[in-house]
Structure 1
């Protein structure tokens, strides 16, 4: 056995080998040591190899999926080695023959299909990148849903596309790890090197064509050599990991580089599109706006948020669909009720294609298509927008498959086909006959037990069954002697004696056992054959079922966005091909939702106009910290993004010209792993914006230059704003504390000053969160520091230093004094209230008052007494 193990392990040196032994997967040697630590399970020893004890650990096969997930998340790959025959079959080849075993699957992050290992509301992409001379391409597939895509991409844009897709695994040619390591490590995507032959475009085209049973890929579009190579690498890797059982991939779709809004990794992170800065989905834009009720609809929303469209017709078609449901609330409610009962068709279909499915996956197909039929009957075709009309057509024509599955399956089938009992009575005559014999046999066993009990006079006699003896008669040792003596010994044959029981059989019982076992096994074999027939019937309708699943997701998302618009009072934006950017009453969806959860504090809406022309296309925003500058910047970027996914937006009015690129440099942290300071990270992100932004981009910049000396920072911020205005010509929001920059509004034609209003009241600052035209005269940093709880002595000292600096600035360089001339804490400390020797007269009066016991007249009298005591 160990020789067999070592031979198989030699073919998978980079994976943990899960070696099936009966009901367990066992691991040995270094695999056992690594797995025991990663899974926190016991490490034992078994036998010796070359004089050294062999480390060993194991996990139950029925719970293996949970262990797979833990190992995958910790960076391991798992080779699943199964027994290909029973021990009984192996013994036919010789007494010491080892059971045949083979690796049936390689489990990697990008090839998961089980529901328990995946987030139903997110895609799980396997991607491949290859560069051929001056061209490069990125392909990606989700084998759990069948999506298969490719696009041209430059190495410069690779990071942004990986951030958009967030793949679980990236395939690359061997030897390209060093040049791609920095880009890919930023995304946290594990790389898997493959031989360069996997990316060869000639063999790749044959491989992909064979998968789709075509002579060439011309039927699906025109692909470049790198694109074909990337597609072929994914297919080659799937053949390797799935051991020939290829998933049900849809024909490849070529995406154009300019088809979606370009959003780099830093911007996605700063805007918290699909993941919050704190980690996890909660607090992200996606979590805030998700009202979908199906897994397919949720994945579609994630794709839209990650990839806002640049196609005006597509955006308008999506907006028309949302408007339709926005206006017909009764239809929308009925639709959502039906959609809540729609299972995940895509993943059920994928598991069936990989032969990892079970009866519940067949039931999922049946139930999903049945709900599709219901949606068709309750939806009026008149007035239906084109997008929904096309989707509705995909929901029709599944009656034959639904009828077949409905007749064949029980209402709630078991998870596994080997459990049996999932085929409905009356569907197959042979199965019904075998079941009858099996079930009646159980009744016969009960009759035989009563008969033998009467014959022997032993009331405690039982007929039982186990996998070793089969059916047997069991009685206590006290009664065994009578059964082993004549005349009973002629009928009852002794089989086994245990500590407290003695077991017998009879010729009659053995014959009945054979009939019952044969009937039960035959029934199970018939069910397995029927399952395969039904599986093939579903796979024969892969195209229509996949189209229905896509249509259901489209209905779900359109209805969900309509519900969101109604609940949150969002409006339909006007999206056009101009450079408009006119928002009235704009709001930040995530912050508004958070305020509501915290107690209903209203969000202060603000306008923004960056339309250019005679108006400004850049706003220079000043104002104190905590006033809402960053929120204002982010909300306008999010409004543009939300509009281009085809949704209503959080505003009173919105007119938006297509935004080709979205750039955000808001906040920063250091990158110690690469030796980058916070300021360096900020400069790298700013450089990316200035080098890439075009005239249709929307740029939001916050506090450029704050991480270095004042004059250095001011110079960089000044030059950056000029470059955006003169060279990039982008629409932009630029927040700063350098008030000197407000002078640029007089120098640059399309720059306007704006400020976040505050109000001072008795030495304290009150944030109004209102954005107005004009410039701030102060930053109110000391007041914010006081609100944050700095010690009073520090706040007083800060005010003193600030006053001196402002005085020096007014009086000119000749009168400037060194701050060092101001002795630290030289200002007299604030007088402390004198300690009182005892309670005041007012305190004494208050202590003696019990409001619940006072009449109105007595309360008035006490008030006079308190006033008189205070005046003393």
Structure 2
């Protein structure tokens, strides 16, 4: 290429690149996706691959890098995780057609897909047990709505969502990508939720246009048949539809009819509470250590995703909760049925995602095989459930039945189909007579080739003669250069036609071999053509039944979650909670499921504790005191997790539980700063506390740990005191309030419904022994110095702390001075004397004797003598 006249290929590349701003361009060239210019520089750094150069442009070398097409998915995954969007440009015509336009003509290429975090469908790019949501937030005249879709499963949901509720809802959904109107300035909200932010033009959020787009997708005149949607909801769903049409280049993925979620249908849990309670993700960032990891006993990917949704959004509908509990109880009462169901479910592949890939024309025979295996598992599960199942399981059995016709059609596939249709070999023998005949010709042709090779070897007298095949020459006869002279000379030269000479061999053909090759090649192509036709028919049949297949997939997930909860309850000794619309919160023998699981690995027992927050209409607050490390935070969290599990429809880790519906769950536990927003640890604590006090209603459950710890003692005590009074007087909710400010325990005497509780400890010879038992009453102190000693603080520091604590306590008992003044007057608070220098130890006689000994050089006799000598030195010392 010259600087002034870029090649036709580069002109094409620059044109495609300009039409897809904001995305890396994967430009297909043969067996590679190539990247140029800034894309190459960015991709090479992100993927840790070589950056090369190709030609020049505008007087500078063109940076270039590439990835193999067959391995592109792994590179895509890396780029997506690092926040890139990728445009895939494929060849859209045959190279032979391009040559007809002239020797310098370039094969036509165009972007066939934009790969973004929220639009993934490939199995290798997705986490099987987690959703991959694409969300959109829209505002119309001050009213907001949030819509979300998972195109890998076809789910589409929408709900009213004012801007103030956006962050908590995103925390619940954890979408991979959030669509907003350009200029919305929601970068912080998206970043907090871990979602990539994509801004769309205002036209994408037009509610009227959105309604038309959705009607076209579902081939209906009006959306009224799916429910009543407000303008913001139509705008949000319309934005998702518009974005999918853009990224999939007009090929719309399969979407289930939109479902509207009521704003108050689930327990409200804000982002801070989810983070503090580690519901689906541990504070360390991984799944291990979370509640979900501790309780997940599902055996299907769809079941795991449903369980995550249940834990992320516990229901507030008593009928739904009780129905789910009945399903668990039914399986608990019949362990044999539960075991058989789990065995059948374990054979069910992920039908939802296979169906979505087929709908987007990204599927293959293996996806059809997954549909067949899933429907076979559905039939087996339905047969096991029978007609006596409770409501949830009976409804599931209905959805799981009636797929025999489609299963029979899919029996055309072999037992283990290949990944790609172009490879062929996925249709079972006996299904299509024409295909069987064509395959017979193809396969017998190979036998004829072998016979022809033997014939030619005998005729020429060259045993090493071979008949081979490649994509350039087709079938050819190959022999070494040494034997080739015989075939090039009469009479053999009349039959064997010379085709090619290489460094080590000479290649020939014959008329008979060419004719046989034509028959064999036609048979191979014909067989592939027949198989592709069968694949198309089966795919069409599956997509035509996508509704019932989707219902069966959801039913399998429902049964899986019920069976998983039953297995968990049976194995861990969990009980069925009583859930009603009262204000009760009574837990007997409650345990923390994650901590108990960790202790079991160490063969240690978890100490169960009771909790009772029932006081009629009066606010019910436990003021919990006790030392650090005694288990206060564990106690707070376990009660919150029990409420979540109860309203998710499962059993709970307690001997008995009575939970009045919890409308909102708030947690202020732990200490963390937010330096990116300029917030100190104390500021974060106050912001989260303010959110609780401003939002919690009378049906909320609030757990607070060490409010006021991030500031001075008297400031912290004042704030904690006022917060508790506000919870009691204004919020009037159920709460667990842990504190080290023992002065607050006096509040129980004047605030009805406030009770003191403490975590019991014992002192023994200056050490503190944690009993982890929560009892009524107040702690007399916090045992901080003892805990500091256990943590390994130097003995001098611990002793000094004891002296200071004793002086402070004495001054407080005698009614006197402020702590600062008291400390200033204490003679013990003069600069502590430096520790005496550690004496330098001199080597003992034994050490001096051993200094020059080389053990490897000693004979057995010398070693024995040395041992006696050392013994004597020890006795003398």
Q: Over residues 732-782 of structure 1, what are the superposed CA-to-partner deviations in whole Å (9 max), with x where a residue is unaligned?
A: 000000011011111111101111111111111111111111111111001
Describe how 1:575-724 pairs up with structure 2 within 5 A.
575-598=579-602, 600-613=603-616, 617-724=620-727
Residues 25, 39 of structure 2: 8 Å contact kept: yes
Describe how 1:386-397 pairs up with structure 2 within 5 A.
386-397=391-402
Residue 287 of structure 2: which of 253, 278, 281 is its match? 281
How far does residue 834 in structure 1 lie from its aligned partner after superposition?
12
Answering whether residue 259 of structure 2 is matched by residue 256 of structure 1, we say: no
Answering whether residue 84 of structure 2 is matched by residue 84 of structure 1, we say: no
Distance 1:814 1:361 in 2: 78
Q: Over residues 603-638 of structure 1, what are the superposed CA-to-partner deviations in whole Å (9 max), with x where a residue is unaligned?
A: 111110111228761000001111100000000000
Distance 1:661 1:356 in 2: 42
How far does residue 668 in structure 1 lie from its aligned partner after superposition?
2.0
How far does residue 362 in structure 1 lie from its aligned partner after superposition?
0.4
Residues 793, 825 of structure 1: 8 Å contact kept: no
Residue 797 of structure 1: which of 791, 795, 800 is its match? 800
Cα 1:614–1:470 shift into 2, 3 Å: closer
- 1:129 is paired with a residue whose SS is strand
Query: 2:444 matched to which residue of 1?
Result: 440
Query: 1:495 matched to which residue of 2?
Result: 499
Query: 1:26 matched to which residue of 2?
Result: 34
Answering whether residue 457 of structure 2 is matched by residue 449 of structure 1, we say: no
Normalising by structure 1, we get a TM-score of 0.94
Residues 336, 556 of structure 1: 8 Å contact kept: yes
Cα 1:815–1:519 shift into 2, 3 Å: closer
How far does residue 822 in structure 1 lie from its aligned partner after superposition?
2.6
Normalising by structure 2, we get a TM-score of 0.93
Distance 2:99 2:451 in 1: 38
Answering whether residue 360 of structure 2 is matched by residue 354 of structure 1, we say: yes
Residue 306 of structure 1: which of 308, 312, 337 is its match? 312
Describe how 1:27-66 pairs up with structure 2 within 5 A.
27-66=35-74
Query: 2:407 matched to which residue of 1?
Result: 402
Answering whether residue 144 of structure 2 is matched by residue 136 of structure 1, we say: yes
Q: Over residues 74-95 of structure 1, what are the superposed CA-to-partner deviations in whole Å (9 max), with x where a residue is unaligned?
A: 1100000111123223212322
Distance 1:412 1:603 in 2: 47
Residues 175, 194 of structure 2: 8 Å contact kept: no
How far does residue 181 in structure 1 lie from its aligned partner after superposition?
2.2
Distance 1:445 1:636 in 2: 76
Moved more, 270-279 or 810-819: 810-819
How far does residue 699 in structure 1 lie from its aligned partner after superposition?
0.1
Query: 1:481 matched to which residue of 2?
Result: 485
Residues 797, 825 of structure 1: 8 Å contact kept: no
Query: 2:768 matched to which residue of 1?
Result: 765
Residue 169 of structure 1: which of 177, 183, 203 is its match? 177
Answering whether residue 222 of structure 2 is matched by residue 219 of structure 1, we say: no
Distance 2:774 2:408 in 1: 61
How far does residue 372 in structure 1 lie from its aligned partner after superposition?
1.2
- 1:148 is paired with a residue whose SS is strand
Cα 1:505–1:655 shift into 2, 3 Å: same
Residue 576 of structure 2: which of 572, 575, 581 is its match? 572
Residues 385, 394 of structure 2: 8 Å contact kept: no
Query: 1:859 matched to which residue of 2?
Result: none
Residues 385, 393 of structure 2: 8 Å contact kept: no
Residues 164, 306 of structure 1: 8 Å contact kept: yes
Distance 1:614 1:85 in 2: 74
Moved more, 311-320 or 483-492: 483-492
Query: 2:873 matched to which residue of 1?
Result: none
Residues 793, 829 of structure 1: 8 Å contact kept: no
How far does residue 481 in structure 1 lie from its aligned partner after superposition?
1.2
Q: Over residues 500-546 of structure 1, what are the superposed CA-to-partner deviations in whole Å (9 max), with x where a residue is unaligned?
A: 10011111111111111111011111111110110000001001000
Distance 1:814 1:386 in 2: 70
Distance 1:832 1:475 in 2: 91
- 1:624 is paired with a residue whose SS is coil
Q: Over residues 186-232 of structure 1, what are the superposed CA-to-partner deviations in whole Å (9 max), with x where a residue is unaligned?
A: 22211100111111011100000110111111101110000000001
Answering whether residue 273 of structure 2 is matched by residue 267 of structure 1, we say: yes
**Where does the alignment leave 5 or more consecutive residues of structure 2 unmatched?**
1-8, 845-877
Query: 2:372 matched to which residue of 1?
Result: 366
Cα 1:503–1:387 shift into 2, 3 Å: same
Distance 2:433 2:271 in 1: 61
How far does residue 453 in structure 1 lie from its aligned partner after superposition?
1.0
Q: How many residues align?
A: 834
Residue 733 of structure 1: which of 732, 736, 742 is its match? 736
Query: 1:551 matched to which residue of 2?
Result: 555
Moved more, 718-727 or 479-488: 479-488
How far does residue 49 in structure 1 lie from its aligned partner after superposition?
1.4
Q: Over residues 431-474 of structure 1, what are the superposed CA-to-partner deviations in whole Å (9 max), with x where a residue is unaligned?
A: 11211111111111111111111111111111111111111111
Residue 816 of structure 2: which of 813, 816, 827 is its match? 813
- 1:127 is paired with a residue whose SS is strand
How far does residue 814 in structure 1 lie from its aligned partner after superposition?
5.9
Residues 616, 752 of structure 1: 8 Å contact kept: no
- 1:813 is paired with a residue whose SS is coil
Query: 1:781 matched to which residue of 2?
Result: 784
**Where does the alignment leave 5 or more consecutive residues of structure 1 unmatched?**
840-872
Distance 2:475 2:382 in 1: 55
Distance 1:657 1:59 in 2: 57
Distance 2:834 2:799 in 1: 8
- 1:110 is paired with a residue whose SS is coil
Residues 609, 616 of structure 1: 8 Å contact kept: no
Residue 320 of structure 1: which of 306, 316, 326 is its match? 326
Residues 643, 659 of structure 2: 8 Å contact kept: yes
Distance 1:264 1:773 in 2: 30
Cα 1:76–1:837 shift into 2, 3 Å: closer
Query: 1:863 matched to which residue of 2?
Result: none
Distance 2:234 2:384 in 1: 44
Residues 213, 238 of structure 2: 8 Å contact kept: yes
Answering whether residue 190 of structure 2 is matched by residue 184 of structure 1, we say: yes
How far does residue 810 in structure 1 lie from its aligned partner after superposition?
1.2
How far does residue 833 in structure 1 lie from its aligned partner after superposition?
14
Residues 80, 106 of structure 1: 8 Å contact kept: yes
Residues 700, 734 of structure 1: 8 Å contact kept: yes
How far does residue 824 in structure 1 lie from its aligned partner after superposition?
4.5
Compute the RMSD of aligned alpha carbons.
1.8
- 2:27 is paired with a residue whose SS is strand
Answering whether residue 519 of structure 2 is matched by residue 511 of structure 1, we say: no
Query: 1:849 matched to which residue of 2?
Result: none
Residues 619, 732 of structure 2: 8 Å contact kept: no
Distance 1:378 1:305 in 2: 27
Query: 1:856 matched to which residue of 2?
Result: none
Distance 1:189 1:207 in 2: 25
Distance 1:469 1:614 in 2: 90
